[in-house]
Amino acid sequence: MINDPYLAFCKALERIPEAVPAPYNWATIPSPLSVVWMAYAYMLDEFARELANSINMFAANVRRLSAWSSVVPMFDENEKLRVTHEFIETLAAHALLSPYVIKSRFAFAVAHLSHQANRATNQYWTDDFPLDRKINLDTFEQYAEHWKYYREFKKTFDTINNEDFIRNTDNFRHIYNHRFSPRIVIGQTTFVTRSVSPSGIEYGFGWREAFQLPLIVNWLSRERDHCMSTFGEFRKLVCEQLEAIGEYSVTPGQ
């Protein structure tokens, strides 16, 4: 039995290095800037900051889960239940949901920014962008695909929350929101499953074991790295757009 499980966690956390954070304040907005680019400038300021916040929080949560993973095996069953209820379950659930959230935020940001930046490369530009509630993971491609750095961004973007992660986590995000997801560390769910076979409706009986922290940390460490790489490509795409905006802004008559 551990006298103070949280103290054991804190000591373990000190031994785990922090990830290199996604940076802030890296974009240089052309100056002076016409009022027509105000939307782009304000969107970029918010989107770049909030993407970095999301990724850095995700990385910090993966680090915390890694520390818990190293000390949980030392706990007895009562201690495991207590720390899971007090600390681990909410932390792990939030971290497992984060890849989809971050991917969606990348898509939202790139869609909006590319639409605005296209004004600099398309003399027939019109404000035909959908309302925010209709933007999804597929929206940004039609607005961003002609930018040079789009393809590299798309490659890394597609690694986040991809089919491997969804399969490994039993589609945790979807099940968590719509059914009863696997427990974390301790407990079972899904005692009855219903399926359709050629012979008709079938019921299966059993259970799904809880996700264990070493597996969760392994899955999420890869997702953290994918998010960091995608942020790097996002920066290149934005810098390309800012260069085009700068050239447009100094063109006589603009």
What's the pLDDT tens digit per position in 75-103?
A: 999 999 999 999 999 999 999 999 999 99
Give the pLDDT band (50/70/90) at residue 253. Answer: very low
The rounded percent of the chain whose pLDDT value lies above 70 is: 97
Residue 192 DSSP class: E
Rounded CA-CA distance 153/159 in Å is 10
Phi/psi at 81 (5° precision): -65, -40
Rounded CA-CA distance 62/56 in Å is 10
pLDDT tens readout for residues 29-38:
888 888 889 9
Query: Are 87 and 68 contacting, i.e. CB atoms less than 8 angstroms apart?
Result: yes
Residue 37 DSSP class: G
pLDDT tens readout for residues 157-180:
999 999 999 999 999 999 989 988
Q: Which residue has the higher pLDDT, 141 or 249?
A: 141
What pLDDT is attached to residue 252?
42
pLDDT tens readout for residues 12-67:
999 999 999 999 999 998 888 888 899 999 999 999 999 999 999 999 999 999 99
pTM exceeding the 0.75 threshold for the entire prediction: yes
What pLDDT is attached to residue 17?
95
